Amino acid sequence: MRRAIYPGSFDPVTNGHLDIIERGCKLFDEIIIAILVNPDKQPFFSIEERRGMLQEVLQDIAHGQCILRVDDFEGLLVHYAVAQQAHAIVRGIRAISDYEYELQMALMNRRLEPNIETVFMMPAETYSYVSSRLVKEVFLLGGELDGLVPPLIEARMKEKVTAS
């Protein structure tokens, strides 16, 4: 049973994240999509909202026999990964600019917990410029999100700004 953690903020989940999860399913038997609880950041969506949305959109992706779970965690990622008996941490790398930061994190995580490997995965080229940060910026400035996030996520973003 090969279990991986796919950690992140997922604020919101993008098609790039879902592409990585689909690809990760070809390598692992179980992937835990783990949302970081970060009290220092003011998120667009609450942890509960992000968990709910992830659970909904994961139903529409091709995951074969791979088990997908959504969870959240606080503190060190490697502590969480050990507690979950995970073998690996999956991170998506879109461009060389991601690599430096991701390499630092991967090596620090390895130093903290040598038994857990970080696996870098590349999303489809179509998503190589898609990030949650840009999705929020485009949305808040009135741009279309077609193809960047699932329709459900765009709808929830609209509901969120209408409600506030």
| Residues marked as catalytic | 17, 41, 94, 132
Least distance CB 19 / ligand PNS (angstroms): 15
Residue 77: CB partners within 8 Å, gap ≥ 6? Answer: 5, 7, 34, 36, 89, 109
- The residue among 61 and 105 lying less far from ligand PNS, judged by its C-beta, is 105
Q: Where are the alpha helices (DSSP H) in the chain?
A: 15-24, 47-58, 77-83, 96-112, 132-140, 151-163
Distance of CA 46 to the CA centre of its chain: 15
Q: Please, which residue, 74 or 142, has the CB nearer to ligand PNS? A: 74
For 28, phi then psi, to 5°, come to -120, 155
Report, in Å, the least distance between residue 1 CB and ligand PNS: 23
Which CB sits closer to ligand PNS, 76 or 140?
Answer: 76
Residues 49-108 that bind ligand PNS (CB under 6 A): 76-77, 105, 108
Nearest residue to ligand PNS, using CB? 8
Return the number of the residue (20 or 157) whose C-beta is nearest ligand PNS.
20
In whole angstroms, the minimum distance from the beta carbon of 65 to ligand PNS comes to: 26
Cα distances (angstroms) measured from residue 143 to each of 11, 44, 125, 154, 164? 17, 17, 21, 11, 19
Considering only 4, 25, 32, 36, the residue that binds ligand PNS (CB under 6 A) is: 36
CB of 29 to ligand PNS, least distance (A): 22
Q: Does 37 bind ligand PNS (CB under 6 A)?
A: no
> What type of residue is 57?
V
In sequence order, the 6+-apart residues with CB closer than 8 A to the CB of 18 are: 57, 58, 61, 150
Q: Which two tokens stand for residue 161?
A: 């700004």
Give the count of residues interacting with ligand PNS (CB under 6 A): 9
Q: Which residues bind ligand PNS (CB under 6 A)?
A: 7-9, 36, 76-77, 105, 108-109
